[in-house]
Amino acid sequence: MRKAISVLLNNLVLIVIAIYFLAPLTWLVTSAFRENPSLWVEFKGFTLSNFPKVFTGDTLMWVRNSLFIALVTALISVSFSFLAAYPFARFEFRCKTPLLFMLVLSMTIPLSAVMLPTYSLAKFLHLQNTLIGVALVIAARQIPMGIWVTKEFISSIPVELEEAAWVDGANWFSTIVRIVFPLCGPGLAVIGLMSFVAGWGDFTTNLILISSERLYPISLGIYKASLEATSWGYTTINYGVLAAICLVYLIPPMLAFLFTHRYLVKGMVLGAVKQ
């Protein structure tokens, strides 16, 4: 009897959590396909009229800018994480442990605490109001975690594989590219996905660094559209169009997850265990 009650309570908690997270998503999906939807979830009056309005405005420009930021962020994070993780995994050198500790410490610093120096540095380097500047800042915050995850993957690869390649005449660079890099695929997939999602969904960094509307990513675009839809104290928001834009906003991270999901479990489990 006690076990049955415990199972029932657990199921009720799971149902409440599921409703909490799925209800807003259900409203978003249904509203995107309805004209002038209300604040309630309704399964009627579906239409595709919202999407032509989305793709005839600035949304395509926002999507292009966000894709650029996300892809560049992922490329930088994966490349630098791998190159920095290899010495930590294979060599012993002075200050190795303090450096790893500093990497962990850097991950605990919130972006809001370094907004001013981030903006000042970007302006000094002429990266303020540029997409590449945004990508560099976001990538810099992803690289510490990337180094830790990739380091554990490289440590799990037997060094004998590299030694055998050296005996066969391969140089150091080709050994890393042809042997170590492919075997780190699951870990790099995790870093790539995390960095892509961070670059695609970032709002704060863009708000700090981007001032030109032609460089707005979709996160700032939705914010701008929401502000413009509310004027003079009267709420005139077209929820159908905004829901359609938000639905477009969800698609790239979902696709990125579908392409990399088979690597994620292995990558997260091995990367989380310090050997």
Model confidence over 246-274: pLDDT tens digits? 888 888 888 888 887 776 665 555 544 44
| Overall number of domains in the chain | 2
Please answer whether residues 199 and 69 qualify as being in contact, where contact means their C-beta atoms are separated by less than 8 angstroms.
yes
Choice among 34-43, 140-149, 182-191, 223-232 with the minimum mean pLDDT:
223-232
The residue among 47, 62, 85 that closes a domain is: 47
Looking at the fold, whether 144 and 224 belong to one and the same domain comes out as yes
Q: Which CATH number covers residue 95?
A: 1.10.3720.10
Helix (H, G, I), strand (E, B) or coil at 231: strand
pLDDT in tens, 125-154: 999 999 999 999 999 999 998 898 888 888
CA distance 238 to 152: 49
Q: Note the pLDDT of residue 195.
A: 93
Answer yes or no: is pLDDT of 235 > 80.
no
Looking at the fold, whether 164 and 212 belong to one and the same domain comes out as yes
Residues 6+ apart with CB under 8 A from 187: 149, 150, 152, 153, 267, 270, 271
CA distance 268 to 129: 34
Looking at the fold, whether 96 and 137 belong to one and the same domain comes out as yes
Looking at the fold, whether 80 and 212 belong to one and the same domain comes out as yes
- Residue 38 belongs to what domain range? 1-47
Looking at the fold, whether 8 and 71 belong to one and the same domain comes out as no
Looking at the fold, whether 64 and 11 belong to one and the same domain comes out as no
The H-assigned helical ranges of the chain are 2-32, 50-55, 59-90, 96-106, 115-124, 131-156, 159-167, 172-175, 181-183, 185-201, 204-209, 218-229, 239-272
Looking at the fold, whether 129 and 256 belong to one and the same domain comes out as yes
Looking at the fold, whether 72 and 170 belong to one and the same domain comes out as yes
Looking at the fold, whether 112 and 146 belong to one and the same domain comes out as yes
Q: Note the pLDDT of residue 272.
A: 46
Looking at the fold, whether 38 and 67 belong to one and the same domain comes out as no
Looking at the fold, whether 264 and 175 belong to one and the same domain comes out as yes
Please answer whether residues 43 and 30 qualify as being in contact, where contact means their C-beta atoms are separated by less than 8 angstroms.
yes
Choice among 10-14, 35-39, 214-218, 254-258 with the minimum mean pLDDT:
35-39
Looking at the fold, whether 12 and 62 belong to one and the same domain comes out as no
